Chain A
Amino acid sequence: MSAATAVGVRSRARRGTVRAALFRAFLLLSLAVGFVALGALVADVLWKGIPYLDGILLTEAPSADPDGAGARPAILGTIYLMGMVLLMAVPIGVGTAIYLEEYADRERWYNRLLELNIQNLAAVPSIVYGILGLAFLVRGLGLGRVLLAGAMILTLLVLPIVIVASREAIRAVPDSIRHAAYALGATKWQVVSRQVIPAAIAGIATGSILALARAIGETAPLLLVGALTYVAFDPTPLGAFTALPIQIFQWTARPQEDFKLLAAAAIIVLLAILVTMNAFAIWLRDRYQRRF
């Protein structure tokens, strides 16, 4: 009888190790799915796009001939969008974060509503922002299908990212710094502007760059404010415009194979910009972030 029990225990133990090994294999597979897809995506884009990645792509306007077509207006459009979004989203986002962290009384219902609102806005589909832009900026205000309308919509879209990142950075500044400044007779705004913001600046900058990176990769809202037009000239703030992701979409949607390769080349440019921005954000965080 004791022998039989021993066999039972052993086989159960073996079943246990088999199950543990299977489970571990499943977990590794789960991780692998993401990395294999990422590898395939990058390899595919590089393989197709590198032959078209040349001076023509960067300096020429789009054309019907894939060999002479470039993305100059789109690249410039993306750079302009970046600048304008930066100028609008960072002050508004940081201002909101300061208000919520330093001034707002959490007990008040309207401040709690503000927080819930920001959390929800972060998850509103980007195309809905496009509808907002179409209804209010393009048609309502009569701004038309211009670069400024695109920049304003992207600003609203990434605002929650700037706010959340800035709030975290501000929250990480210890109260002892605030108390010390108050003890020296500083007013609230002096404390915030001369102590809290400088101490939180690395986190705010990192979050702002990541928000910008999100903004320049967005396509759907720009489609609705009318970026999908043939633009063969350099964009201006109140003129028709296009942007890199829109150009990629346009070329991808063409039936000719050559334009799809051109799209791959434009994707390489876009990904290179995004990688640079992310690397800069990480460097900034590691270099300047202060731990308290």
Chain B
Amino acid sequence: MSVGRAASAQPLRLRTETRRWGEEAVKAALALCAFISLATTIGIVAALLQPSIEFFGEVSVVDFFTERRWAPLFEPPSFGVVPLLVGTLSVTLWAAVVCIPFGLGAAIYLSEYARPGTRRTLKPALEVLAGIPTVVYGYFALTFFTPFLQELDLGVGVFNALSAGVVMGVMLLPTVASLSEDAMSAVPRDLREGAYGLGASKLQVSTRIVVPAAVSGIVASYVLALSRAVGETMIVLIAAGGLPQLTLDPREAVQTMTAFIAATGIGDVPTGSIEYKTIFAVGLTLFAITLVMNLLSIRLVRRFREVYE
């Protein structure tokens, strides 16, 4: 277009004389498809906000975040979300203990140590873990890993945060490994060759050159994995129990935000009751936390793409 303009000095008219209504209609239909995903977000926010505003009309926001007891059905009721937040934190912590070091280790191996052929088979094989439904992980945690922990005489209960967290960490391994490996593969070869030229060993190149150079991508993978841990429902619903306790003891049963929403939503709660509204107030808290984490992770990924691509 710019070439034509330069040659003829007069702007070229690229539009046809008559408008093509068919073409316009197609474009409008496609834009409508794209709008559905935007409408989803608007719908989520609207669905969460309206009952939440009603909820906070009855329960003060300060009480919600400072009361130390979550007992919406008790008499008198208490609406302190802190035990649910601590339950979520406890499970997320144990998931992080598994997926952060081992996810990074797997990524370093795949990116720096494995031969290309080995990498091509190992990476998809590891990603099988991400394809297993979460209800299956929940089953595994409850019927295999918890009994295994009980064999070890650690004093864990039938429902506990440790088992749910560790199994969730395994589920998140491919999330961390895959994204971190992408970031490490994007580090230019020159940096590695330069370090090798100065006599660095493979260990030194991996830990002092590649990992620091890929750090924003690695952190992005961590944030994304932890955001998934915070939002994961089935594993905690099945294996962590349903008791909103204010404890960080991994052997105890806890209730997370997601497990509370699911447990309350399963029953046929009457619309408009305070119990119904708690689903949305807790849901809004959960959505806000994961939204911040997701946006942070998206930002970090963009940064490493900008630097090396």
Using a CB–CB cutoff of 8 Å, the interface residues on chain A facing chain B are 16, 19-20, 23-24, 26-31, 33-35, 37-38, 40-41, 44-45, 48, 91-93, 95-96, 98-100, 103-104, 113-114, 116-121, 123-132, 134-136, 139, 156, 159-160, 163, 187-189, 213-214, 217-220, 223-224, 226, 228, 245, 248-249, 252-253, 260, 263-264, 267, 270-271, 274, 278
Binds A, one of B4-12, B74-82, B123-131, B185-193: B123-131
A66–B203 CA distance with the chains assembled, in angstroms? 55
A83–B133 CA distance with the chains assembled, in angstroms? 19
Contact of B133 among A117, A130, A219 (CB under 8 A): A219
14 A-B Cβ contacts within 8 A?
A27-B106, A30-B101, A30-B102, A34-B173, A41-B137, A104-B34, A121-B37, A124-B231, A156-B36, A220-B233, A228-B266, A249-B135, A249-B138, A270-B136
A214–B132 CA distance with the chains assembled, in angstroms? 9
Which residue of the partner chain B has the closest CB to A213?
B131
A246–B126 CA distance with the chains assembled, in angstroms? 26
Q: A20 contacts B202, CB within 8 Å?
A: yes
Q: B201 contacts A248, CB within 8 Å?
A: no
Which 9 pairs of residues, A with B, have the shortest CB-CB distance?
A: A125-B231, A30-B105, A95-B33, A217-B133, A220-B233, A135-B47, A99-B30, A27-B109, A224-B265
Q: B133 contacts A245, CB within 8 Å?
A: yes
Known contacts A33-B102, A260-B143; is A128 also within 8 Å of B43 by CB?
no
Interface membership of B297, Cβ < 8 A: yes
A164–B294 CA distance with the chains assembled, in angstroms? 16
A103-B27, A132-B43 given; name 13 further pairs at CB < 8 Å. A20-B201, A30-B106, A30-B108, A34-B129, A40-B140, A45-B140, A91-B33, A126-B233, A128-B48, A213-B131, A219-B133, A223-B262, A249-B238
Known contacts A114-B34, A123-B290, A223-B266; is A264 also within 8 Å of B139 by CB?
yes
Q: B131 contacts A267, CB within 8 Å?
A: no
Residues of the A chain whose Cβ atoms lie less than 8 Å from the Cβ of B144: 40-41, 44
Contact of A41 among B33, B110, B136, B290 (CB under 8 A): B136
Contact of A270 among B102, B128, B133 (CB under 8 A): B133
Known contacts A28-B109, A40-B144, A139-B271; is A248 also within 8 Å of B139 by CB?
yes
Q: A189 contacts B23, CB within 8 Å?
A: yes
Contact of B109 among A31, A124, A131, A213 (CB under 8 A): A31
Residues of the A chain whose Cβ atoms lie less than 8 Å from the Cβ of B195: none
Q: What 1/0 mask marks residues of chain B from 257 to 293 whose CB sits below 8 Å from any chain A CB? A: 0100110011010010000000110010011001101
